[in-house]
Structure 1
């Protein structure tokens, strides 16, 4: 079972819930010995004990089930996952939309307030979002309030970042939102069609690529502080065959985020199939939100670098 590079799905919280999930309780027709023609503990199926004695725990006057009652029991629908307290796709979708709604509200706040307040809210969102991301990732049980608070703080950060970049590259915010929706939609469509799968080989590639990208990003941050003359984007501003390195790296990062989404979808599917407890739909929604926030950030930076080099 491949869980990809998202620490939310690779961590003990969600991964453990899937591994230890108990199958849904069988419906009555699966438990009834009459349906399968079995006689439990040697009891007479018509409510009478062997040699005229009542079965253990049953009264002598228990009436036998009629053929119509047995048929109705057999044909009755099985309990749905929601009725048995299991995670469903609908749960994950609704909770993910709730998280994204909080992201949008947080972003709207930062975009609406004066510039000075926006900078403070952006800093609060960056630090608070990171702290709650760590808390929610490693917390043993998902807490809806903390997950929604993370989404709201990320919204503050993304709103401030979008406002800052939009100051010199008009319209990139809307383009980044549209690009995120398109990439996420296409990725989901490809996954549902079976054209792309979360294979172990793809998981290994993703992990190696993520580590390489993280190493490049850390080196770039150090160079940006050590040599401010290289520009606002550091190594990303260096041209390669006439194309800014940031555009090439940005496209690579968007592909990595899309692959991470594939593994997120696979993790959600595994959780639903395994019958994970319903509360872990919040964990799945949190994991999807983390990846979508990353995807939006990469597309926003890619568009900013592209526009700044026009």
Structure 2
């Protein structure tokens, strides 16, 4: 059986983020989460297409890419600490993240034609598989399972942060971003961890349905976007490494 009190691998769904006061107001529903998630994904696609179109016109989108990434971080922080703002900050996060994804996806398309669409297909297929595994209870979210995924998430993110800091000083880690077998193996592990973190998110959201306030549907949407976009980036990165390697 799954313990009722726990935190998920996605910090979006941690106990702090989901702390709320019980009331008789409208509650979070599955349909609400689905509709808001679809709308937010549409917003991501909208700004992704916009930046991609700029690239096709020969316009430098570097500022769009980095600006979108920074804005996404800011809106994530705001959503974390001001959950009631989530109906505004989550769509803004989606738009900002789309700018970032548009830049990296257009770059990948220029180097490897058709790769971004294949990465999107793999991401959506993975999402559906994870949802099926969760609903069919083929994979049960146990305390040990949570601990393993959470530990893996922290380790991977710590490595990425250290690498980012080193890059500021002109130091690169070829064992992370290169095309060596070690780098490819690391990317495969990161992709698997991102995939399985969806199971924890599904489980946590499922237990909050009918309990959390209505605006938490936007918080849930934000959480799923964080995981899905992370998964897409890992899949795209893995595909690029394999294409270069082979």
TM-score (norm 2): 0.89
Give, in angstroms, the shift of residue 11 of structure 1: 4.8
Q: Is contact 2:83-2:216 (8 Å) kept?
A: no
Q: What SS does structure 1 have at the residue aligned with 2:123? A: helix
In 1, the alpha carbon distance for the partners of 2:45 and 2:231 equals: 15
Q: 2:187 — aligned with what?
A: 250
Q: Name the CA shift for 1:283/1:222 in 2 (closer, same or farther; >3 Å).
A: closer
Q: Is contact 1:2-1:198 (8 Å) kept?
A: no
- Root-mean-square deviation (CA, aligned residues, Å) is 2.0
1:191 counterpart (120, 134, 139): 134
| 2:212 matches 1:305 | no
Q: Name the CA shift for 1:115/1:124 in 2 (closer, same or farther; >3 Å).
A: farther
Q: Is contact 1:223-1:234 (8 Å) kept?
A: no
In 2, the alpha carbon distance for the partners of 1:251 and 1:295 equals: 11
Aligned length: 239
Q: Is contact 1:121-1:157 (8 Å) kept?
A: yes
1:94 counterpart (31, 35, 42): 35
In 2, the alpha carbon distance for the partners of 1:183 and 1:214 equals: 21
Q: Is contact 2:122-2:235 (8 Å) kept?
A: yes
Q: Is contact 2:7-2:15 (8 Å) kept?
A: no
Q: Is contact 1:13-1:139 (8 Å) kept?
A: no
Q: 1:21 — aligned with what?
A: 22
Q: Is contact 1:166-1:172 (8 Å) kept?
A: yes
Q: 2:208 — aligned with what?
A: 271
In 1, the alpha carbon distance for the partners of 2:241 and 2:49 equals: 24
Q: Name the CA shift for 1:222/1:86 in 2 (closer, same or farther; >3 Å).
A: closer
Q: What SS does structure 2 have at the residue aligned with 1:278? A: coil
Unaligned runs of 5+ in 1: 25-83
Q: What SS does structure 2 have at the residue aligned with 1:141? A: helix
Greater relative contact order structure (CA < 8 Å, 6+ sep): 2
Q: 1:290 — aligned with what?
A: 226
Q: 1:181 — aligned with what?
A: 124
2:26 counterpart (69, 78, 85): 85
Q: Is contact 2:130-2:199 (8 Å) kept?
A: yes
Give, in angstroms, the shift of residue 21 of structure 1: 3.1
2:217 counterpart (281, 285, 290): 281
In 2, the alpha carbon distance for the partners of 1:296 and 1:137 equals: 22
Q: 1:9 — aligned with what?
A: 13
Q: Map 1:1-310 onto structure 2 (within 5 A).
A: 1-14=5-18, 16-17=19-20, 20-21=21-22, 85-113=26-54, 114-221=57-164, 226-227=170-171, 235-237=176-178, 239=180, 244-273=181-210, 275-310=211-246
Normalized per residue, which structure has more helix? 2
In 1, the alpha carbon distance for the partners of 2:58 and 2:6 equals: 44
Q: Is contact 2:176-2:186 (8 Å) kept?
A: no
- The structure that has the greater radius of gyration is 1
In 2, the alpha carbon distance for the partners of 1:219 and 1:13 equals: 26
Unaligned runs of 5+ in 2: none
Q: Is contact 1:147-1:286 (8 Å) kept?
A: yes
TM-score (norm 1): 0.72
Q: Is contact 2:205-2:220 (8 Å) kept?
A: yes
Q: What SS does structure 2 have at the residue aligned with 1:87? A: coil
Q: Is contact 1:191-1:197 (8 Å) kept?
A: yes
Give, in angstroms, the shift of residue 234 of structure 1: 5.1
